[in-house]
Copies of this chain bind each other. A is one copy, B any other.
Amino acid sequence: MGLEVMRHRDLNPHVSVDCVIFGFDNVDLNVLLIEREEGYIEENANNNAQPARGSLALPGDHIREDEKLDQAAARVLKELTNLDNIFLEQFHAFGHPNRAKNEADRQWMKSVRAEPDARVITVAYFSLVRLEMYNPKASSFAKHAAWFPVSSIPELAFDHNLIVRRALEALRNQLKNEPVGFELLPPKFTLSQLRRLYELILGTELEKRNFRRKILKKNFLVPLDEKQKGVPHRAARLFTFDKDKYESFKTDKYDFSI
């Protein structure tokens, strides 16, 4: 019995999980992708070549017969990219009958799946992390794993482009209910860095002074007696989060709980 066939035995051929991990690096909002064949990430990622359709995908795989959906998402992410201890939030199940009917996707499934023709419903999870804290390392059927800017994601396998778009919407909705996580920024940061993060998530430019006024009104930012060092432009003031105020703000903010 080959390794691949062994791998199938305890997998449920009808249900999978996919993980959309967003990583912020102070400049860009990125998403973690895996490559299923050798080639693109190593050789072409820096010269704008287009990958073969379906060679890049979200980290995802079938659930095991005996595991919960949340467990499956954490296991699959760990197996394929070595990322661990990430809070994954389920946001949507995708089940269009044609979501895996593309020929390139079908070929790939025939090579690795026990029932390549079974209809697969995927339950999708998302998370937003500080990129520098997580170093992806491909394993299992992933040959490579790397961060890609959300603004220039190539064509992905299955319906994974749609899944990324819906994950971004889920992230935006989250931002409407609670302030962005302070773990995403360095311990001391400028308002421009914070604004950049909001802009990337919301997908729109925010007017500088307006942002400053509104965010300072929220009261969970502490201005420090310190400025940026070693920047080519005029050094900006550094801020930090007041964790207590931040937490109480997070809990209190029920705009419609009246």
Contacts and interface: CB of A to CB of B under 8 A. Distances in A.
Contacts of A14: 12, 14-15, 121
Interface residues of A, number: 40
A49 interface: no
A253 interface: yes
Interface stretch (A25-33, A36-44, A106-114, A170-178): A170-178
Contacts of A176: 177, 254-257
Nearest to A204: B257
A202 B254 CA distance: 11
Interface string A153-174: 0000000000000000000010
- Give the number of times this chain occurs in the complex, counting copies: 2
Contact of A258 (B97, B206, B253, B258): B206
Nearest to A199: B258
Contacts of A214: 258
A121 B121 contact: yes
Interface stretch (A62-70, A76-84, A136-144): A62-70
Interface stretch (A52-60, A87-95, A225-233, A234-242): A87-95
Nearest to A70: B95
A69 B119 CA distance: 12
A65 B119 contact: yes
A177 B177 contact: yes
Contacts of A50: none
Interface in A184-214: 198, 202, 204, 206, 210-211, 214
Contacts of A69: 93-96, 121
Given A210-B258, A256-B175, A257-B202, A63 B12 contact: no
A97 B66 contact: yes
A15 B118 CA distance: 12
B179 A256 contact: yes
Contacts of A129: none
A128 interface: no
Contacts of A177: 173, 176-177, 256
Contacts of A93: 69, 90, 93, 121, 123
A-B pairs, top 6 by smallest CB distance, nearest first, are: A14-B14, A93-B93, A69-B95, A93-B123, A214-B258, A175-B256
Interface of A: 12, 14-15, 63, 65-69, 90, 92-97, 119, 121, 123, 173, 175-180, 198, 202, 204, 206, 210-211, 214-215, 253-258
